[in-house]
Structure 1
């Protein structure tokens, strides 16, 4: 580094003398020395740069390997509402014993906004392919309809006062009863003056899951769910 600084100093000195003494007979010799100093300086810069690169490469190979390592496969699913026949929606699916609510089993897994990436959709349930920490979320829209001009029945009046409930369960092979992960509820006063009312129930959280675990959503009244893909959806993705 000292030699490099000396070369730079001599280069500046000869550059000034070259400008001020072009009529001097020694000018050509000075110019040749100036060119020689530039070559030496360039060589020194190359050597210093090469040395720095070698030293840095000894310290950072692990970082380089991390950048070149293949990315971890993504595990995610987002299923949406689908327009299933009314007969299929009436009463919802059977979630099994000791499970609250009616299971939504007519999720869409491939069309529109829905997708499945390493996750399977079986009878309305998401099947996790590998163990890890997952973020699970669900949203359902409850639609209450009342045809205009028709008198409201007693059953409709009772329905308007009931809470809207949504549950997210996990099914594991080692335990016979589905395990409740999350639940949410909402009580709203549905106006009799409007043709319909929409109210959402949504929730999400982080949970450890094992390979082969099933996830499912149940609601208090499956026939009242508005299954538009932007209104009702359910999903999970691997965090770590």
Structure 2
């Protein structure tokens, strides 16, 4: 009986020992296999990156072949990440550059802020709000050489306006340097109600930008903007605005001025009626 118990104990001990050895051998084997697979995968990934061809060098193949190729998937993902990073960085730099440029050439957007640069040569003049109509010179093409009625009441020093190396004389901006200039203007019209429901007449609103040259007798039309508007028939007035902008080469001593049709309807609010120019290059 004692021998049987001892024999049983030896058998159990031998079984445990064999099981332990089997587990250890299995662990070592699978560890080696995993290391081999990891090494092969790493070499394969590096090979994909080293031997990869640029999209322009890749020979066209079936879409299913590309999708099943691990190297193609790895490189496509890498290309996507690189392109996205470059695009984000480029967009950020461009946005910053554009913002800085606009702030520099149009300081009226941020008037009076320290550190905001003014353009080297530029001006933004605004309408003068008054209970009286601004001095507007009535004219005809035959006698003055330009269309419309000339606006002379512009503010160049206060509020949103500024003059930087330019002068404002009698409603004209005097150009000090030769170069390419960006020129813009806006006028705001308030058409009073006719009070007659039967009225069907319309108003033709026109805004002109002219330049005067010392070497030429008559003014030269640079830009024109127009729109047709119906006279309001209710109690409220009709509100309309004309805006235009463009570039032109100007010479020293050239002068810029604005004329409009229906001058008596122009409202000279500084935020609604204005014009200006600045040197681009």
Superposition TM-score tier, normalisation by shorter sequence = 0.5 to 0.7
Alignment gaps of 5+ in structure 1: 1-70
Alpha-carbon distance between aligned partners in 2 of 1:141 and 1:126, rounded to the nearest angstrom: 20
Shift in Å, 1:163: 0.8
Partner of residue 230, structure 2:
189
Contact 1:140 1:201 in 2 (8 A): yes
RMSD: 2.5
Shift in Å, 1:193: 1.1
Alpha-carbon distance between aligned partners in 1 of 2:144 and 2:185, rounded to the nearest angstrom: 22
Shift of the 87–229 alpha-carbon distance from structure 1 to 2, 3 Å rule, reads closer
> Of 122, 130, 149, which aligns to 1:76?
122
> Of 167, 179, 187, which aligns to 2:220?
179
Shift of the 192–103 alpha-carbon distance from structure 1 to 2, 3 Å rule, reads same
More helix by share: 2
Pairing of 1:1-150 with structure 2 (within 5 A): 74-84=120-130, 86=132, 88-89=134-135, 92-94=136-138, 97-146=144-193
Alpha-carbon distance between aligned partners in 2 of 1:181 and 1:170, rounded to the nearest angstrom: 7
Alignment gaps of 5+ in structure 2: 1-116
Pairing of 1:146-225 with structure 2 (within 5 A): 146=193, 151-152=195-196, 161-225=202-266
Contact 1:141 1:226 in 2 (8 A): yes
> Of 219, 232, 237, which aligns to 2:273?
232
Report the TM-score, using the length of structure 2 for normalisation. 0.53
Contact 1:98 1:177 in 2 (8 A): yes
Alpha-carbon distance between aligned partners in 2 of 1:175 and 1:212, rounded to the nearest angstrom: 12
Matched length: 162
